[in-house]
Amino acid sequence: MKIAVLDGYTLNPGDLSWDSLEALGECIIHDRSAPEQVVPRANGAEIVLTNKTVLSAESIARLTKLKFISVLATGYNIVDVEAARRRGVPVSNVPTYGTESVVQMVFAHLLNLTLHVGHHARTVREGRWMNSVDFCYWDTPLVELQGLTMGIVGFGRIGRSTARVARAFGMNVVVYDITPHSEMPDGYRRVELNDVFRESDVVSLHCPLTSQTENLVNAEQLTLMKPTAYLINTSRGPLIDEQALADALNNDEIAGAGVDVLSTEPAAKDNPLLTAKNCHITPHIAWATRAARERLLKVTVDNVAAFIAGKPQNVVNNVKS
């Protein structure tokens, strides 16, 4: 079978091997594909792999030989899965590859917000410590996590793992999930959404982007937060009303934010969070540790092999074959 990879660079910028995928068929790998290149590059391929390159209904309709789409990610909103379903084309994703890496980024942001390690290291490099009249100094409040409350919005795999690490730091954990679970692990407390924002010293977002969750964090929710509280988002950018968050930060209504995702990526020049007070933005890299990318590639290859064997797995659009 002919396999086309539309945007392989972010998964594999050169430190991984495509050999296991190339062993499954004739494989053409593109680092990036502009919208107008999607159909010409995927034309004639039975299997198409994409990370963030959009496969629209129009593109799917024009790819007459297309039989299978594998998304190089967990989120699959860049594919019109309903159009694929109507064509009888299964769409698979990779649901679990990045959990621990994303959790690590949650706490990288949180520790940065509470201890400002980068800032203080920079002042030492600039020579300030050697000229200090005291043996130490700090420019911001230094905050201990033990005893604080972390609010988890979305209690799937990543939310649960984040809660586990929070407990290891000695934090209390409150949880809100749109889909209630029958059981809540010991040590966690389920609350309503408003109570998460009202009670928490840190709110961490771990829910998918849907019509229900878009702008979930808005001015109304932000006004419930403590002025000492932090907001972390490693999930999806549009969960947050970014202007409302910028206003809350600039008006000292909350203490800080750490986000790995924005509503438009790459970042738009006029995004208000780029200039907001104490807002730290990383360029959507929580998923990108080498270990996570190795798992992502392995499961993707497994998805392709399973489809070729007539037993597609991790299918998200209810097409069996």
Residues noted as catalytic:
236, 265, 284
Rounded Cα–Cα distance for residues 136 and 134 (Å): 5
Backbone angles phi, psi at 279, to 5 degrees: -115, 120
**Beta partners for residue 258, in sequence order:** 232, 280
Backbone angles phi, psi at 188, to 5 degrees: -115, 155
- Between strands 256-259 and 279-281, the pairing is parallel
Rounded Cα–Cα distance for residues 103 and 219 (Å): 26
Q: What is the largest CA-CA distance in the chain?
A: 74
Rounded Cα–Cα distance for residues 81 and 85 (Å): 6
Q: Which two tokens stand for residue 246?
A: 């910028």
The set of residues, in sequence order, having a beta carbon less than 8 Å from that of 296 and lying 6+ positions away, is 11, 72, 73, 94, 97, 98, 287
> For the chain, how many residues are written?
321
State whether residue 76 is helix, strand or coil: coil
Rounded Cα–Cα distance for residues 179 and 20 (Å): 37
Rounded Cα–Cα distance for residues 157 and 198 (Å): 24
